[in-house]
Structure 1
C-alpha cells in the first residue's frame, strides 16, 4: 500500500510505519549523543507510545540503561486502514531496544482498567521484580469506570466565554475562536479523566502488590503556559484537572512517605501533540513560540525535553524543583524575554503576515512527523507493508 497523509482538522487518519520508525530512530540517536547518566533502572511508563511518553521511554532506556514496560492503547492495522502511529512507534522502539540488548515489553489496553493494572503487576513480578520509577503520561479523552460509567473530558472555560485569535488548521488563516464555559458536570468529568485519581490508583496497587521499590520516584506530566492561554488552559477545565493532578502528587508523597516514595509534577514545554492540536488558540501560540525560541536557540522537542529531565533535573540526591516541588522543563519557554517577544508578535499577527511572524513550517513539520510523514529520507511513493 502507498500511504499518504489524510488530515482532518487536528488529526491525521493515517500513519506511515517507516516514517514512525525514523521518528524513533532519530530520538534514540539524540539520547545516545547525550551519553549516559545515573538514573532509574526499571521503569514503568503509563502512556508510552507517542509524544512525551515515548520520549521518556527512549531517554530512560538509552540514557540510563533502564529496562522498561510501556502501557499503550493503540490499534493495529487492518485491511482498511493503517495502524495508529503509537502502534508503529512501539513496534520500532521494541525492535531497536531488543537489538541493543535492552528489556522492553508493552501492554496494549485501557490503562484506566483494573485488568491492565493486574497484567502490568504480573509482568513486573515475572520480569523485573520491582520498578524504581513510574511515569504517568496519559492523554486520554475519556475514562470508563469499573461500574461502566463513562466520563468524557472537555476543552472549555470555567465561568464565561473566551474569545481570541486562533489558527485555522485547515488553511493556515488567522480567525477568531470563542470557547464557552463548562457545566459543573463537565468540569468534574474532565477531572475524572485528566486528574490524579488514576495515577494514585496505579501507585497504590503497585505498592500493595509489592512491585514498587522503596524510594521509587513517580512523575506525571503537566503544562501551565502563558497568561494568554490561561482562560482556555490553566484556568479552564484542563487546568482544573491539572491542579487535581498536582494535589495528587502531594498526597502520594505524604501517604507513601514511610516507603520513601516521591511524586513529582513535571511541567513541560509547549509542543505539538495530538492532544494540544485540539485546543483552540493554542496552536497559534505554539507557532509563534516556535519562531521565537528557535531564533534564541532555545527550542526543544519531546526528546530534548526528556533528555534534560534525566540528565539535568533528576539527580542522585533528588529532583531539582521549584518552590511548589514541581520539576520545570518549561523554564526556557517562560523566560521573560521569550514571552515578551511572543506577545509582541501575537498583537501584530494576521492572515497576511502569519508566515512571517509564526513558524508554520515548524508547526506542520512536527504535526506530520507525529504520524511518520515528511521525513526527507523516506520514499513515500513506495509500497509499504502496513
Structure 2
C-alpha cells in the first residue's frame, strides 16, 4: 500500500504528479457523457467489432477508446506508453487506463491494454498475437492517435526527434502564461525557424510512416477483416496559430499523414474493401496542445467566445465512431478528411476570436478568455479540479496495470 495526499504541483502547464481518484472520476465522466447507441447496442458480453486504438490513454485517443467502448461496444486492444508509480505517482495516463479497463470489464467489453512503444515492432508482434489468439484473427477498426517527441526506426535503429518550429522565418506570437502567483500574463514569444533536417525529422515522427507500418504489419499476417477501416486523428486549427502549426514543421507532418491516408485508402479498397481516412478534430486542452506557443491563449479565447458551445473530445469521437460504423454517412471534405472541426473554424467564430486576440493583454485577458475553465482543464489532465474528489484525503497511488487475465 502506498497512500498519500497528492497536491497539484506544476512547472508551467506540466504537473509533477497525478491524482488516481481524479483520473478515475474523469474517465467515469467521459463514459457517462457518451449517448446511448442509435442502433441496438452490443449486449454486455456480446461480440462487438474488434478495434485497435494506438495512443489510447490521453487526449483524443482516450476519447476514441471510451466512445468506442460505450457507443459501439468495441472489444480489442489499446496501446499506450505510460510510467508506473514509483517515487512519484504514475502518469495520469496510467491511472486513466486502469479506470477505462475497469469500466470495460464492468460492461462486459473484452479490452486489453498494452503499455509499450507503439513505434517498435515488439508491440506490433504482441498485438498480432492477441488478435490471433484472443479476437479470432481479425481487426475491424484501427484508430491512430500518437503524439510523441521522438521515434526509433525499427529497421535502422535511427532515432528521429520532432520539433515545434515555423518554416522560413522566425515566428513571434502572443502566448498565455501564469506567474508564480497564478496571475495570467499575455506575453510575446519568438520561435526560431526550422533548420537542417528539422522538417524531415518531424515528419518521420509525426507523419504517416508508423501508421502505414502498422497497417502493413497486420495485413501481412492476414489480420485485417473485410471492410477494415482505419482513421488517423489530426488537427488543422485556426489561421491565428497556422504559422507555428499547420504551416510549421508539425503541419508538414500532418500533410504527410493525410497523403498516407490517401495511399492507404486506395490500397485497402483493393485488398479488403476497406477505408483509410484522417479525422480533423477541433481544439481542446491536451498535454500535447499546451506545449505549442499561442495555443493556450487561443483555446482560452475560443472558450470565451463559444462557452458551452465547444464540443469536447468525447463528443467529437462519438461523431467519428458514428461515421465509421455507418450510423451516419461518412462525411468527407475534398481532401478525403472527416471534419469534426467545422464548429471551431466557422467564420463568425474565428472573426470573434481574432478580435479578442488583437486586444488581449495581461490587463484585459480575464474579460476575453475563460481562464477559469482553461485552468481547470489543464489540472484535469492530471486528475485535479475534478468535482467530487476529496483532495485533502490520502489516496492509494500504487494502482496496478490491468492485465489480459483481468477479463
Aligned 8 A contact 1:195 1:241 in 2? yes
Q: CA deviation at 1:324?
A: 1.2
* 2:99 aligned with 1:84: no
Q: CA deviation at 1:265?
A: 0.6
- Would the alpha carbon gap of residues 91 and 3 (structure 1) be closer, same or farther in structure 2, given more than 3 Å must change? same
Per the alignment, in what secondary structure is the counterpart of residue 298 of structure 2? helix
Find the counterpart in structure 1 of residue 401 from structure 2. none
Aligned 8 A contact 1:37 1:310 in 2? no
Aligned partners of 2:95 and 2:233: how far apart in 1?
A: 23
Aligned partners of 1:352 and 1:317: how far apart in 2?
A: 46
Q: How many residues align?
A: 382
TM-score by length of 2: 0.91
Kindly provide the CA deviation profile for residues 182-240 of structure 1, in whole angstroms up to 9, marking residues without a partner as x.
11311111000000000000001111111111211100011111111111000000000
Kindly provide the CA deviation profile for residues 38-76 of structure 1, in whole angstroms up to 9, marking residues without a partner as x.
897111000000111111011111101111310010011
Aligned 8 A contact 2:322 2:328 in 1? no
Please say which of residues 251-260 and 354-363 is displaced more in the overlay. Answer: 251-260
Aligned partners of 2:74 and 2:339: how far apart in 1?
A: 23
Aligned 8 A contact 2:76 2:135 in 1? no
Which of 209, 213, 216 is residue 197 of structure 1 equivalent to? 209
- Would the alpha carbon gap of residues 122 and 318 (structure 1) be closer, same or farther in structure 2, given more than 3 Å must change? farther
Please say which of residues 298-307 and 341-350 is displaced more in the overlay. Answer: 298-307
* 2:392 aligned with 1:381: yes
Which of 235, 258, 264 is residue 247 of structure 2 equivalent to? 235
Aligned partners of 1:313 and 1:10: how far apart in 2?
A: 34
Find the counterpart in structure 2 of residue 11 from structure 1. 14
Please say which of residues 124-133 and 39-48 is displaced more in the overlay. Answer: 39-48
Find the counterpart in structure 2 of residue 362 from structure 1. 373
Q: CA deviation at 1:320?
A: 1.2
Which of 345, 354, 358 is residue 347 of structure 1 equivalent to? 358
* 2:181 aligned with 1:177: no
Aligned partners of 1:161 and 1:63: how far apart in 2?
A: 45
* 2:69 aligned with 1:61: yes
Find the counterpart in structure 2 of residue 324 from structure 1. 335
Which of 182, 204, 211 is residue 223 of structure 2 equivalent to? 211
Find the counterpart in structure 1 of residue 313 from structure 2. 302
Aligned 8 A contact 2:331 2:338 in 1? yes
Find the counterpart in structure 1 of residue 405 from structure 2. none
Cα RMSD after superposing both structures: 1.5
Which of 118, 138, 161 is residue 152 of structure 1 equivalent to? 161
- Would the alpha carbon gap of residues 197 and 318 (structure 1) be closer, same or farther in structure 2, given more than 3 Å must change? farther
Which of 133, 141, 160 is residue 149 of structure 2 equivalent to? 141
Aligned partners of 2:175 and 2:204: how far apart in 1?
A: 28
Kindly provide the CA deviation profile for residues 152-208 of structure 1, in whole angstroms up to 9, marking residues without a partner as x.
100001100111211124442000011110113111110000000000000011111
Please say which of residues 169-178 and 337-346 is displaced more in the overlay. Answer: 169-178
Find the counterpart in structure 2 of residue 166 from structure 1. 175
Alignment of 1:255-294 (within 5 A): 255-258=267-270, 259-294=272-307
Gaps of 5+ in 2: 42-47, 398-407
Per the alignment, in what secondary structure is the counterpart of residue 177 of structure 1? strand
Per the alignment, in what secondary structure is the counterpart of residue 315 of structure 1? coil
Aligned partners of 1:340 and 1:67: how far apart in 2?
A: 42
TM-score by length of 1: 0.96
Q: CA deviation at 1:37?
A: 4.3
Aligned 8 A contact 1:215 1:262 in 2? yes
Kindly provide the CA deviation profile for residues 20-51 of structure 1, in whole angstroms up to 9, marking residues without a partner as x.
000100011111x4434489711100000011
